[in-house]
């Protein structure tokens, strides 16, 4: 009888435990259910019949570190500085700048070895003939003028000589012109230069749409407190910019130019490059930079009140450093197969380039809160309608 009472008490106690409500985990609002009778312990082989052990929760992988811009120092100043007499005008020099592209070297050789000697020889010959005629046929020495009406030999000479001279100039000149505008190879790096009143904007369509906007840096006395100004490290006066463009050395460059308002011209004398930027039109040329360095140029087409304040600055760097710069700008590098294949990048058409949108997208200074403005205070009025802009409307606040 005693054993029956003990067994009944045990059964009643087990039923009461099964009917208890589940406990609530403090602060979570979640209900913790009681384990079923006879259930295997969590995490045991019986609880996981597949034999797979649930891995413990791990912390999220840290975000990749930002790529350091290889062209800048830690304080934001440019690492590459201008070299005297290289890629910039030189005082008391009348010769062409030293050339750093194959086409440029050929062009300078043509200028110095063919064009200038021919021009000098013709000029001296004409001056000699003028002096000879003035002395030989003056009135005192020739009181009775000659009655000669023509001379066949002289006429043949003065007809054949100019033909030969022009041929000597034209043959190398036409060949040079053809090589200057030879289409770039399919794996060339494409740089699109967009002229605006009065700054340049650039796009790298093969590298994930990297874009750069470059404004001239003003002198220290010409800017308000807190604004960035030109230093010797930035480059010469009227040629330094807040954002330089970077191009690789030894790689063909496809240059495409257009404009958003009026005609501009992208020119770098050390590259033998001068290509007009025309609204509504794409012009193209190609070149290959042979030596790393800092090279300067300017807009070479009269484009308004601040035409003189549209400089160009190009840093030519090794390919590895160029790739690092692209990553630092948030761009992507094409795979080897893509690099060897024809470029499929979509070049935005001129009509899609709006000066106001370009300004809002990137026409800012390198340092936050330090805008860069050009030297004059207001734009001159214009009656010409720009692409995307009404007549007389430009980025006067830039």
DSSP string, 124-145: HHHHHHHHHHHHHTSTTT-SS-
**Per-residue pLDDT at 380 exceeds 90:** no
Angstrom CA distances, 183 to 66, 173, 179, 266, stand at 36, 18, 9, 18
Residues 264, 358, single domain; the answer is yes
SS3 category, 101: coil
Residues 171, 203, single domain; the answer is no
Name the least confident of 69-73, 149-153, 328-332.
69-73
pLDDT of residue 73: 80
Count CB atoms within 10 A of the CB of residue 28.
8
Is 71 a domain residue?
A: no
Count CB atoms within 10 A of the CB of residue 243.
23
Is 295 a domain residue?
A: yes
Is 358 a domain residue?
A: yes
Residues 175, 195, single domain; the answer is no
What tens digit of pLDDT does each residue of 42-86 get? 544 444 544 444 455 455 545 455 667 888 887 777 888 888 888
Is 3 a domain residue?
A: no
Domain with residue 239: its CATH number is: 2.60.40.420
Q: 180, 208, 236 — which closes off a domain?
A: 180
Instruction: Name which of 119, 198, 203 is nearest 166 in CA terms.
Output: 119
Q: Range of 274's domain?
A: 189-362
Residues 269, 351, single domain; the answer is yes
Average pLDDT, stretch 182-211? 92
**Per-residue pLDDT at 200 exceeds 90:** yes
Cα(34)–Cα(64) distance, rounded to whole angstroms?
44
SS3 category, 23: strand
Residues 240, 176, single domain; the answer is no
What tens digit of pLDDT does each residue of 87-142 get? 998 888 888 999 999 999 999 999 999 999 999 999 999 999 999 999 988 888 88
Residues 171, 305, single domain; the answer is no
Name the least confident of 94-103, 160-169, 179-188, 199-208.
179-188
Is 252 a domain residue?
A: yes
Instruction: Name which of 379, 245, 365, 257 is nearest 309 in CA terms.
Output: 379
Residue 157, burial from CB neighbour count under 10 angstroms (0-12, 13-18, 19+): exposed
Residues 173, 206, single domain; the answer is no
Average pLDDT, stretch 225-240? 90
Average pLDDT, stretch 154-165? 92
Count CB atoms within 10 A of the CB of residue 236.
15
Residues 322, 213, single domain; the answer is yes
Residues 253, 338, single domain; the answer is yes
Name the least confident of 13-17, 132-136, 323-327, 367-371.
367-371
What tens digit of pLDDT does each residue of 263-319 get? 999 999 999 999 999 999 999 999 999 999 999 999 999 999 999 999 999 999 999
pLDDT of residue 126: 94
Residues 128, 268, single domain; the answer is no
Instruction: Name which of 300, 273, 299, 265 is nearest 100 in CA terms.
Output: 273
Residues 6+ apart with CB under 8 A from 214: 199, 200, 201, 202, 241, 242, 243, 244, 245, 311, 312, 313
Phi, psi angle pair for 247, to nearest 5°: -135, 150
pLDDT of residue 137: 86
Cα(309)–Cα(307) distance, rounded to whole angstroms?
5
pLDDT of residue 225: 87
Is 394 a domain residue?
A: no
What tens digit of pLDDT does each residue of 15-39 get? 544 444 444 444 444 444 444 444 4
Is 106 a domain residue?
A: yes
In this prediction, residue 246 has a pLDDT band, given cuts at 50, 70 and 90, of very high
Residues 235, 101, single domain; the answer is no
Under 8 Å between Cβ of 303 and 197 = yes
**Number of structural domains in the chain:** 2
Is 231 a domain residue?
A: yes
Residues 351, 211, single domain; the answer is yes
């Amino acid at each position: 009888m005693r054993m029956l009472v003990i067994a009944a008490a045990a059964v009643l106690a087990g039923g009461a435990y099964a009917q208890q409500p589940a406990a609530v985990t403090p602060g979570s609002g979640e209900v913790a259910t009681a384990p079923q009778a006879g259930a295997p312990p969590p995490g045991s082989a019986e609880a996981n019949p597949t034999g797979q052990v649930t891995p413990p929760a791990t912390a999220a992988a840290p975000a990749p570190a930002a790529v350091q811009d290889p062209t800048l120092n830690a304080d934001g100043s440019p690492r590459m500085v201008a070299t005297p007499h290289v890629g910039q005008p030189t005082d008391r020099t009348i010769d062409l700048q030293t050339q750093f592209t194959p086409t440029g070297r050929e062009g300078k050789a043509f200028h110095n070895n063919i064009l200038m000697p021919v021009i000098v020889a013709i000029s001296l010959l004409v001056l000699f003939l003028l002096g000879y005629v003035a002395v030989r046929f003056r009135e005192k020495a020739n009181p009775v003028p000659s009655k000669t009406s023509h001379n066949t030999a002289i006429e043949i000479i003065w007809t054949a000589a100019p033909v030969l001279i022009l041929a000597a100039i034209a043959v190398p000149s036409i060949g040079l012109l053809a090589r200057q505008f030879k289409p770039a190879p399919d794996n060339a790096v494409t740089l699109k230069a967009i002229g605006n009143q009065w700054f340049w904007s650039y796009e790298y369509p093969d590298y994930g749409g990297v874009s750069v906007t470059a404004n001239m840096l003003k002198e220290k006395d010409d800017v308000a407190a807190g604004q960035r100004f030109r230093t010797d490290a930035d480059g010469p006066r009227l040629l330094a910019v807040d954002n330089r463009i970077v191009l690789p050395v030894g790689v063909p460059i496809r240059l495409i130019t257009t404009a958003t308002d009026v005609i501009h011209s992208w020119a770098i004398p050390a590259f033998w490059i001068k290509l007009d930027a025309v609204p509504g039109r794409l012009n193209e040329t190609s070149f290959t930079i042979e030596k790393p360095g800092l090279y300067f140029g300017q807009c070479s087409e009269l484009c308004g009140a601040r035409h003189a304040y549209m400089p160009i600055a190009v840093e030519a760097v090794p390919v590895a450093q160029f790739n690092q710069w692209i990553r630092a700008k948030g761009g992507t590098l094409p795979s080897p197969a893509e690099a060897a294949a024809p470029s499929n990048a979509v070049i935005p058409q001129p009509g899609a380039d709006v000066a106001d949108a370009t300004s809002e997208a990137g026409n800012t200074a390198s340092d936050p809160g330090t805008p860069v403005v050009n030297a004059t205070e207001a734009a001159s009025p214009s009656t010409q309608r720009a692409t995307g802009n009404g007549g007389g409307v430009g980025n006067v606040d830039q």
